[in-house]
């Protein structure tokens, strides 16, 4: 009959508190809920609170959730927790969310993009109040799904082409401009781009930012060598860099779409005995942990992922609590961090 698995866990219900306080259960509910507390006389509130404390009453969120349809639960979808870019985002978001009274259901999506919608359906069944999506591609059916289902959701780190949901991203255009400007100031002219996957906004926008920055510096962007990596991964970066070296051996600098790609480029350079920054300068993007310790210490564009996480949590809270908040895109400014992987180009005979 009793569904509790173990004898030890006693559950104190509203009704018991009500009895002790000498009021009806519904009054207890009102007295204990901050947003309805004003309906109850202060003296009664006090009596109820005291009774609740005496009994060690803990409201049952499951029962409340069944009744209200809300859950104080937020789902966060990440493509890969082990990726050092997403961990700080998650950390920032969960910090802020728990301060706001939400718990986090974490879903590590992996590469199973097809399963994402099912996953979200499952989260909706659990009555999550909203979603933070760090997984979306530039044109992701998941976004349409959330909009359609009227499920509050915000994007973080990546954005989609149509802005149907609020998002928090870094200013990729500005970041690339900082990177290219830095190299041009050092004297570079033959600058290549190691691009990331174009299906993600980060890959796409950084590539476009690279082109724009080259043009702005009076360089022929169309002629600039560019190689696409299939993934934001070290191996993919190495492969793309090898291609680049085969095709355009005369480059003096390369702007990578992220740090992992840059590190892959290091691998390719090392294989061929090409020195960095002596022969070729390399610049990354993200400033992930430890890139200051690699050899040579990586010059890169710093993004505050943790802050992105925090802001996405704030945005989501608004989307949940107010009904019609307009879509907003928060663009965080990146920062150039100069280390040892960039230097003036070597004079050529």
- Exactly one of 106, 216, 338, 344 binds a second copy (CB under 8 A); that residue is 106
Within 8 A by CB and 6+ apart from 116, the residues are: 77, 109, 135, 142
11 vs 223 by CB, closer to DNA: 11
- Exactly one of 8, 19, 29, 138 binds DNA (CB under 7 A); that residue is 29
Separation in Å, CA 1 to CA 4, 31, 127, 239, 256: 9, 31, 27, 63, 63
How far is the C-alpha of 265 from the C-alpha of 259, rounded, in Å? 9
- Exactly one of 19, 55, 122, 212 binds a second copy (CB under 8 A); that residue is 122
30 closest CA partner among 42, 65, 19, 20: 42
289 closest CA partner among 263, 252, 316, 250: 263
Q: Which does 41 bind (CB under 5 to 8 A by kind): a second copy, DNA, none?
A: DNA
- The CB density around residue 252, as the number of other CB atoms within 10 Å, is 21
If one asks whether residue 95 binds a second copy (CB under 8 A), the answer comes out as yes
C-beta of 332: minimal distance to DNA in Å? Answer: 36
How far is the C-alpha of 319 from the C-alpha of 302, rounded, in Å? 28
3-state class (DSSP) for residue 333: coil
If one asks whether residue 289 binds a second copy (CB under 8 A), the answer comes out as yes
- Exactly one of 29, 94, 202, 342 binds a second copy (CB under 8 A); that residue is 94
Q: Which residues bind a second copy (CB under 8 A)?
A: 3-6, 8-9, 58-63, 65-71, 73, 76, 80-84, 87-88, 90-91, 94-95, 98, 103-108, 110, 121-127, 148-150, 263, 266, 289-291, 293-295, 306
Q: Which residues bind DNA (CB under 7 A)?
A: 1-4, 11, 13-15, 22-27, 29-30, 32-33, 36, 39-41, 44, 57, 59-60, 63-64, 66-68
């Amino acid at each position: 009959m009793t569904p509790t698995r173990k004898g030890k866990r006693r559950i104190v219900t509203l009704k018991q508190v009500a009895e002790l306080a000498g009021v009806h259960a519904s009054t207890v509910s009102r007295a204990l809920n901050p947003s309805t507390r004003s309906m109850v006389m202060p003296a009664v509130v006090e009596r109820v609170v005291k009774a609740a404390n005496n009994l060690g009453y803990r409201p049952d969120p499951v029962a409340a959730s069944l009744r209200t349809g809300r859950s104080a639960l937020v789902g966060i979808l990440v493509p890969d927790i082990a990726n050092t870019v997403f961990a700080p985002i998650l950390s920032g978001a969960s910090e802020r969310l728990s301060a706001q009274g939400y718990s986090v259901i974490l879903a590590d999506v992996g590469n199973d993009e097809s399963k994402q919608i099912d996953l979200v359906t499952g989260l909706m069944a659990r009555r999550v109040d909203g979603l933070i999506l760090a997984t979306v591609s530039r044109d992701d059916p998941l976004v349409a799904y959330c909009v359609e289902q009227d499920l509050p959701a915000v994007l973080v780190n990546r954005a989609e082409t149509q802005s149907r949901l609020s998002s928090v991203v870094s200013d990729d255009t500005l970041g690339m401009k900082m990177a290219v400007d830095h190299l041009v100031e050092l004297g570079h002219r033959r600058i290549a781009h190691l691009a990331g996957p174009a299906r993600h906004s980060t890959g796409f926008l950084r590539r476009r930012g690279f082109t724009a920055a080259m043009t702005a510096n009076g360089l022929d962007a169309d002629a600039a060598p560019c190689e696409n990596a299939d993934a934001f991964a070290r191996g993919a970066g190495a492969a793309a860099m090898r291609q680049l070296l085969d095709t355009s051996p005369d480059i003096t600098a390369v702007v990578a779409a992220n740090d992992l790609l840059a590190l892959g480029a290091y691998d390719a350079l090392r294989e061929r005995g090409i020195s960095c920054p002596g022969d070729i300068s390399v610049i990354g993007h993200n400033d992930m942990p430890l890139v200051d310790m690699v050899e040579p210490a990586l010059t890169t564009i710093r993004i505050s992922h943790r802050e992105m996480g925090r802001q996405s949590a704030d945005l989501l809270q608004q989307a949940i609590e107010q009904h019609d908040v307009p879509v907003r895109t928060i663009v965080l400014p990146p920062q150039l961090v100069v280390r040892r992987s960039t230097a003036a180009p070597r004079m050529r005979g």
